[in-house]
Amino acid sequence: MPSVRLDSRKITSWAAFHEQCKAAFGFPDFYGRNMDAWIDCLSGLRDDDGMSSFRLKPAETLEIELLHTDILRKSAPSIFAALEECVAEVNERYAGNGEQPALNLLLR
């Protein structure tokens, strides 16, 4: 199963979050560095849209392993909440198209 790791110790701001995501998910250089762009980039994981370095099979999921979750919850609760909400939004888009969820957020 494909997976990415995000290290909460390095997420000290929104800019740091988006830089880490750009690198981890292989977002394109024109990635907008906001949560709408994050959702858009991860909504085509089963298409060959070039918005991520991942290409999932029809029933495959991408695991997002968030390391040191307790740190992010305390130091940047708005980023943590947005991440949870946006994972759900991406999965709702897939469900709306009759597909299996594409993302699985693992809190470590």
Give pLDDT tens digits for 34-46: 999 999 999 999 9
pLDDT tens across 58-99, in order?
Answer: 989 999 999 999 999 999 999 999 999 999 999 999 999 999
pLDDT over threshold 90, residue 15? yes
Q: Does the 3-107 domain belong in CATH 3.40.190.10?
A: no
Q: Is the pTM of this model over 0.75?
A: yes
Residue 21: which of 98, 82, 31 has the closest Cα?
31
- Residue 80, Cβ neighbours under 10 Å: how many? 21
> What pLDDT does 29 receive?
96
Q: Kindly report, residue by residue over 45-57, the tens digit of the pLDDT.
A: 999 899 999 999 9
